[in-house]
């Protein structure tokens, strides 16, 4: 379950940011997870709840925002949002696509005191 290693890195990043800003506690952590990132939101939540104890995030609210797969079609010259498990342009059905968003996980926001 790679969600645990993701959370370990996330908590470490929170601690670094808190130290850099002279904060005593993280109160909210907001992440964005792409649908094609391979991260399971439920498992990530469980891992965060498990690892946050005895860290600067021990009382933090953890918010997960899911990001749909956003592509650019070279044939249509348009951007589209695709449903999960769809890999062709919804307009022309072509496969000459660039993925613009939806494959990664990002730390979007920290609230600290």
Residue 52 exposed, middle or buried by CB count within 10 Å (0-12, 13-18, 19+)? buried
Distance CA 74, CA 39 (A): 28
Minimal CA–CA distance to 102: which of 62, 59, 72?
72
**Residue 1 pLDDT:** 56
Distance, CA of 61 to CA of 38 (rounded, Å) = 23
Provide the domain limits for residue 96. 3-112
Task: Pick out the chain residues at pLDDT < 70.
Answer: 1
Number of domains the chain is built from = 1
pLDDT at 86: 81
Residue 55's pLDDT is: 94
Start-to-end CA distance of the chain, whole Å, equals 31
CATH code: domain of residue 51: 3.30.2320.80
The pTM score is 0.86
């Amino acid at each position: 379950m790679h969600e645990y290693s993701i959370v370990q890195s996330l908590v470490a990043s929170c601690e670094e940011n808190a130290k850099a800003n002279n904060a005593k506690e993280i109160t909210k952590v907001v992440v964005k997870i792409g649908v094609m990132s391979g991260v399971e939101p439920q498992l990530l939540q469980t891992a965060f709840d498990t690892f946050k104890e005895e860290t600067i995030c021990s009382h933090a609210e953890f918010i997960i925002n899911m990001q749909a797969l956003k592509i650019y079609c070279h044939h249509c010259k348009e951007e589209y949002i695709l449903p999960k498990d769809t890999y062709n342009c919804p307009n022309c059905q072509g496969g000459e696509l660039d993925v613009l968003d939806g494959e990664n996980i990002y730390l979007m926001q920290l609230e600290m005191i």
